[in-house]
Structure 1
Amino acid sequence: MNKIKKGAWVTMITPYTPDGKIDYAACGRLVEWYVESGLAGIFAVCQSSEMFFLTREERLALARFVIQKAAGRISVVVSGHVSDTVEEQTEELCQMAELGPDAVVLISNRLVAGGEKNFISNCETIVRAMPKHMPLGMYECPFPEKRLLKHDEISYLNSTGRFLFVKDTCCDIDEMRARAKLISNDFMFFNANSATLYESLKAGFAGYCGVMANFHPRLYAWLCAHIEEEKAYFISRVLGVMSVIEARDYPVCAKRYLKNQLGFPVTELSRSKRANFVPAIDQELEGIKTLTNYAESLIK
């Protein structure tokens, strides 16, 4: 049964305790919030989760916790695909599959070991080794470098029947429209870019999967489910404007927002980013909260 649902997905952040360990109590509270907000799913152990800065043991433990905490109430896909060699990648991805997520997500920039020409062959090697019952996904992760999928690679992924989930980071609506024509059946693309989300949903994308669902998940869930409503265009433009906060040392800015504006018991600690906020950061975050409240009042 395909548990990859259309709609809004969050790229889950990793909270840390003051001594720098994963804060599972805070993780659990976030999972509950995502469920309560009506999201379709959680993408855990991804870049927002700082997967490149977690040990393999931490990545597996975090994935296991989120899957168990979600308990089938919300779909969960996981990655943790950070190794350099195909052999190590295969091992870590198979370990993730053993935890029972709804899909295991490969990272596009990890699949060019030995050169760009090896993308499909490296992907085939990993796919053959993965449990046949496990659905797969692909993520155009921007770190350590963004590698966008080529059209022939998208057609290959579609043809395997194994890939159900793609997190698109091209941020180009013309390219998204072209990609939408290449996919079929259960092969679904999710847009990470807020500014182009409305147009991509109109073009046939399945939903949203991005960092801003850590700020206002209800708005993304509503937009993906009500794209034909008259107010959807306005909500989409509000979301697009608010998404520029991503440039303020994310994921630290998200943790600051969750702590100061929403009252979540999280620290601002991050392993991937050192906060270098402008002095006006708290006024910016307060403005986002004000806009969020107004936008949510329009969809009640």
Structure 2
Amino acid sequence: MSRKSKGYIPVMLTPFTESGAVDFDGLTKLTELYLQAGAAGLFANCQSSEMFNLSSEEQLAVTKQVLRVADGAVPVVATGTFGGPVEQQADFVKRMYETGVEAVIVITNMLAEESESAEIFDERFGQLLDATPGIPLGFYECPEPFKRVLTADQLKRFVGTGRVIYHKDTCLDIEQIKAKLEATKGVPEFGLYDAYMVHAVESLKAGSAGLSCIQGNYYPELIVWLCNHYDSDERANQVEILQQFFVDHMDVMHAVYPVVAKYFLQKRGLPISTFTRKNVGLFDETVRKQLDSLYVQFQQLLEQIELKPVLA
């Protein structure tokens, strides 16, 4: 998943019909949107996909559909560990890898309980490596049901096995990011993708391979633009404006997510429902007005940074 230039890896949504079934036509259009925006890869079957509310067969079907639409244009990764004995998790990792993904993502909170030590996590990850020979893996510091953040030393050891090529970081701490980047430097096949847009520019400058954030489920072209221009002297003022835009609107984009993201994309012209299987709270008139205001500000921002949108 790594590359010399910075890349945006969407944490993909799962569109549903109003009856609650997976909307594969909507998924096709959404995947095409990410690609048109310039995504460097795709992260299917993640928390934004409502993975914990999908059956294992749905997880595989969604991932296969994303792979079909991408058709080799960019690499695709997908989550493959959902608790239980290591052997059981390894079996699903194998099934997910058989879909054709570039790597299978390991949720860091699924190999050890919150009360269990880092040493137990390390031991079980070693068992998972042994049980899935030859399969490239990645990590996702998923915040649900609890967040287990890897240390720089852990990441260094795991990347050193030659099996870990991807890391979606959610530590929210730029100093930890820098430590992880220092610990894994010189491994060209590995990429760390930061989820936290508050320090996006600083993270990219520090050496992150790119960004993998929920903001891309509102306006993926903005994330791609930032990855392309974060260090541009000529665009420095526009980069600063965009970075501040992400900081200013952090709260509204997280409230009632992913309903709000689906509403925003719907407002932009993508034909998908706002239905979610996960209960994320009330999408009321107050939230709607906040999203409508965000949409207006987004339109104004596009003019400021001279960017043509991929949707209306």
* TM-score normalised to structure 2 length: 0.90
Q: Which residue of 1 aligns with 2:203?
A: 200
Tell me whether 1:224 sits opposite 2:227 in the alignment: yes
| Identity value in percent | 33
Query: Counterparts of 2:108 and 2:161 in 1: how far apart (Å)?
Result: 16
Whether the 8 Å CA contact 1:251–1:273 is kept in 2: the answer is no
Taking the aligned partners of 1:206 and 1:294, their CA distance within structure 2 comes to 29
Q: Aligned-pair distance for 1:130?
A: 2.2
Q: Which residue number corresponds to residue 98 of structure 2?
A: 98
Deviation at 1:165, TM superposition (A): 0.9
Q: How big is the shift at 1:131? A: 4.4
For the 8 Å contact 2:80–2:89, the answer to whether it is kept is no
1:53 — aligned with what?
A: 53
Distance in 1 between the 2:8 and 2:290 partners? 24
Structure 1 partner of 2:179 = 178
**Distance (Å, rounded) in 1 between the aligned partners of 2:49 and 2:7:** 20
Which amino acid in 2 is paired with 1:294?
Answer: Q
Contact map agreement 1:51 1:80 (CA 8 A) in 2:
no
Decide whether the 8 Å contact of 1:193 with 1:210 is kept in 2.
Answer: yes
Amino acid at match of 1:156: R
Aligned partner (choices 205, 208, 213) of residue 216 of structure 2: 213
Counterpart AA for 1:19: S
- Match for residue 129 of structure 1? 131
Partner-residue secondary structure (3-state), 1:182? helix
**Where in structure 2 are the equivalents of 1:1-300 lying within 5 Å?**
3-5=1-3, 6-112=6-112, 115-116=116-117, 117-132=119-134, 134-184=135-185, 185-186=187-188, 187-229=190-232, 230=236, 231-259=238-266, 261-297=267-303, 298-300=305-307
1:239-283: CA deviation from partner (whole Å, max 9, x where unpaired): 222232233111111111122x21222112112224413432222
SS at match of 2:270: coil
Query: How far is the alpha carbon of 1:4 from its aligned partner?
Result: 4.1
Q: What residue is the counterpart of 2:310 in the other structure?
A: none
Q: Is the 8 A contact 2:16 2:275 kept in 1?
A: yes
Three-state SS of the structure 2 residue aligned to 1:281 is helix
**2:244 is matched by which residue type in structure 1?**
R
1:145-186 deviations in Å (ceiling 9; x for gaps) = 111002321111121111111000011112212222111213
What is the rounded CA distance, in whole Å, between the counterparts of 2:39 and 2:302 in structure 1? 15
Amino acid corresponding to residue 14 of structure 1 in structure 2? T
Residues 204, 230 of structure 2: 8 Å contact kept: yes
Q: Distance in 2 between matches of 1:240 and 1:130?
A: 40
CA distance in 1, matches of 2:64, 2:133: 17
Question: Per-residue deviation at 1:83?
Answer: 2.5
How many positions carry a matched residue from both structures?
296
1: CA distance, partners of 2:28 / 2:167: 26
Could you tell me how far apart the structure 1 residues matched to 2:284 and 2:23 are?
27
Mark the runs of 5 or more structure 2 residues left unpaired by the alignment.
308-312
Give the letter for the 1:25 counterpart: D
User: Which moved further from structure 2: 11-20 or 236-245?
Assistant: 236-245
Question: Cα offset for 1:80?
Answer: 3.6
Runs of 4+ in structure 1 over 6 Å off: none
Moved more, 23-32 or 95-104: 95-104
Contact 2:136 / 2:164 at 8 angstroms: preserved in 1? yes
Letter in 1 for 2:109: N
Cα gap change, 1:38 to 1:80, in 2 (>3 Å):
same
Q: Any idea what SS the aligned residue of 1:276 has? A: coil
Partners of 1:295 and 1:157 lie apart in 2 by 40
Assess, with a 3 A threshold, how the Cα gap between structure 1 residues 241 and 23 changes in structure 2: closer, same or farther. Answer: same
Amino acid at match of 2:120: N
Q: Distance in 2 between matches of 1:86 and 1:299?
A: 50
- CA offset at residue 84 of structure 1? 2.3
Counterpart residue identity of residue 143, structure 2: P
Gaps of 5+ in 1: none
Query: 3-state SS of the aligned residue for 1:109?
Result: coil
